[in-house]
Structure 1
Amino acid sequence: MNLRGVRDRLERFAAPLEHLTVRLLEVNLWESAIRLAAQTFLAALPLLIVVAAFAPPSLQDLMADSLSTVLGIKGDTLQEVRTAYNASGSVRDASGAVGIVVALFSATALSRALQRVCERCWKLPKAALRDAAWRWLAWLVVWLLVLFCQAPLRAGFGAGPVLGVPLSVVVAVLLWWWTQHLMLCGRIAWTPLLPGALITGLAMAVAGYASELFMPGAMQRGYEEFGPLGPVFTFLSWLITVFVVAVVGLTLGEWAGTSAWYGRLAERLPGRSPGRSSGGSSGGSSGGSSGRFTRRG
């Protein structure tokens, strides 16, 4: 093989990496991950507290178990979480029904931030408010339901990890597939969104199981070094890491979903029409070639 042939092979190998690097810069990887982590900490977690205040004791225990499963919280930290959820009378008395409505609308800050990430990944303009507002609330409600079910889901509903692990992966993939379609207001068809769902769902499932191994020790070390603020720093670092994984997965998904090889594969599927969804919202359907499979050869 001559020198020119080697150079051509290297260029073909480097071109996708260059494209991915450019796309990650366009999506603002670190800024997006930090914003999503901050909105989760400042808006979504208070919503959990308010929801727990109105939930019966059995659901409070289920939520505590699910958070323990997701975050790997054990020992004294888990007991403090249970105590916080069980001591919900003051929160319920202080907030009332209005409190849960306010907390729900405040938590849409996370939905809005995630929607902007999805739109940047696919180079779409900001959706119209009338098309997006209900989607922010719908995503939060489904997210809460999935979070509630994490403990029994990972336990395979009593069957153990043999069933729990594949179930968790399947649910994560379906959740991220639906999330992209919802947040993009139907402007991208389901088929191009599948690679992002597979990559992000699998990566997030792996991150969730990894947290069970590393988070307990990290929480304990944080407490020993920084006192009560230590676990907070650890939790924020974990959130940023998780959302870095999510943003990278969504970006990789857009790259794969608009590639020529995936376009050829999708065209072979019966009843599948790759590209933009013709039934999308009016929030802006123009914006580059994001819904077509003609970007790369």
Structure 2
Amino acid sequence: MARGAARWRRLRARAEERLPVLTEIASRLLGGSLLDAGTRLAAQAFLAAVPLLFAVAAFAPASVRDQLRESLRAMFGLTGRSDVELQQILGDSADEELRETTGAVGLVIALVSATSFSRAMARVCERAWALPKAKTRVAAWRWVVWLLALFLVVLVQGPLRNGFGVGLWLGVPVFFLVSVGIWMWSQHLLLAKRVPWLHLLPGAILAAAATSALALTARLYMPAALNRALGEYGSLGLVLTLLSWLIVVCAGITFALTIGAVLAQEPPLSHHLGPMGDPPGGAADGDATPAPERDP
């Protein structure tokens, strides 16, 4: 037994010496904070998305509502009772006064909670790269721009995932390539340009792969899960199912961005990506607060 343990320690030490990137990834994954960060990100996403959905249903033009409905159907493969619920929210059959009232409340709540979602995503990116928080005056407008871009991305999910009418065989690779670009741009924006573009590529590829795989899984799993939850628990079941799915998605994104940051900073990939260098503008321009000093 002792001999086997000693042999395992030697193998582990040899692996750590030859592939330090694996050690760093294992340390990050086993640290426990990534899953917590993904859960907080999912909670903020849910708190921003639900009231925003009611606000869109109340104030957006019919063409926007129809496009959003088709995109949500494509994202989750909605059929049956869950599709009827979505139609009731975004359709024209709801009472106009009631919809405007709930939409106004949803808009207020969405505006309050939306920037919290942006801040949570920015913090996920900053923790992945071990960077301090950007100053509010630098980051605030980036939070708003990212939210608007995210809404537009959700709005075009229907035609994008269906390959613009051609089918999944085109939609899947197009969705993956678009996702790589989105996650590169998202990191670049939310990190306030403190990391070079090329170094963001590993995390963007991993996040795109995770979201693409989960998108395909959602079309298979979510319709039955949502309809079963609605049948057994009503609207509460719908909320719990969507929140559970958001936790899986946000945890996958958090893990992907963190692993991508480690890969970009550790050999052998760091040799090909080149040095990080100084961020554009740097801390001298007040783009970021300096890292806090540790007590001795």
Q: Report the TM-score range of the alignment, normalised by the length of the smaller protein.
A: 0.7 to 0.9
Give yes or no for the alignment of 1:244 onto 2:232. Answer: no
Matches within 5 A, 1:172-251: 172-251=179-258
| Deviation, structure 1 residue 135 | 0.6
Whole-angstrom distance in 2 between the partners of 1:146 and 1:7: 44
Please tell me the residue identity of whatever aligns with 2:288. Answer: G
Whole-Å separation in 2 of the counterparts to 1:278 and 1:246 = 26
2-side partners of 1:204 and 1:21: how far apart?
A: 22
Shift of 1:100: 4.1
Deviations 1:268-291 (A, max 9, x none): xxxxx6444223562327559xxx
Alignment partner of 1:260: what SS? coil
Local SS of the residue matching 1:156: coil
Which of 58, 72, 79 in structure 2 is aligned with 1:53? Answer: 58
Q: What are the ranges of 5 or more consecutive residues in structure 2 without an aligned counterpart?
A: 1-6
Partner of 2:3: none
Secondary structure of 2:37's match? helix
Residue 28 of structure 1 corresponds to 33
Alpha-carbon distance, 1:58 to partner: 2.0
**Which structure 1 segments of 5+ residues have no match?**
268-272, 289-297
CA 83–225 in structure 1, closer or farther in 2 if over 3 Å, else same: closer
Give the deviation of 1:16 after TM superposition.
Answer: 3.5
Pair 1:78 & 2:83 matched: yes
Paired residue total: 282
Larger RCO, structures 1/2 (Cα 8 Å, 6+ apart): 2
Partner of 2:131: 124
Code of the aligned partner of 1:45? V
Shift of the 125–4 alpha-carbon distance from structure 1 to 2, 3 Å rule, reads closer
Is the CA contact (8 Å cut-off) linking 1:123 and 1:287 kept in structure 2? no
Residue 209 (structure 1) shift: 1.4
Distance 2:124 2:12 in 1: 35
Write the distance in 2 (CA, Å) between the matches of 1:33 and 1:188. 22
Separation in 2, partners of 1:145, 1:94: 25
1:65 aligns with 2:70: yes
Q: 1:92 to 1:183 in 2, by over 3 A?
A: same
Deviations 1:146-165 (A, max 9, x none): 00000011111122223211
Tell me the CA shift for residue 21 of structure 1: 2.9
Find 1:278's aligned residue among 266, 277, 280: 280
C-alpha distance in 1 between matches for 2:235 and 2:8 = 60
Check 1:286–1:220 CA distance in 2 against 1; reply closer, same or farther (3 A cut). Answer: same
Equivalent residue for 2:4?
A: none
The DSSP-based 3-state class of the residue aligned with 2:164 is helix
Percent of aligned pairs sharing the same letter: 43
Match of 1:106 in 2: 113
In structure 2, give the amino acid aligned to 1:174: G
Cα 1:88/1:145, change in 2 over 3 Å: farther
Show CA shifts across 1:120-179 (max 9, x none).
111111111100110110000000000000001111112222321111011111111111
Cα distance in 1, alignment partners of residues 281 and 57 from structure 2: 38
Matched, 1:144 2:148: no
Q: Distance in 2 between matches of 1:183 and 1:251?
A: 15
Counterpart in 2 of 1:160?
Answer: 167
Hey, what's the Cα distance between the residues in 2 that align with 1:161 and 1:246?
A: 23
Rounded to whole Å, the distance in 2 between the matches of 1:263 and 1:6 is 24
What is the CA RMSD across the aligned residues, in angstroms?
Answer: 2.8
- 1:259 is matched with which residue? 266
**Cα distance in 1 between the residues matched to 2:15 and 2:31:** 24
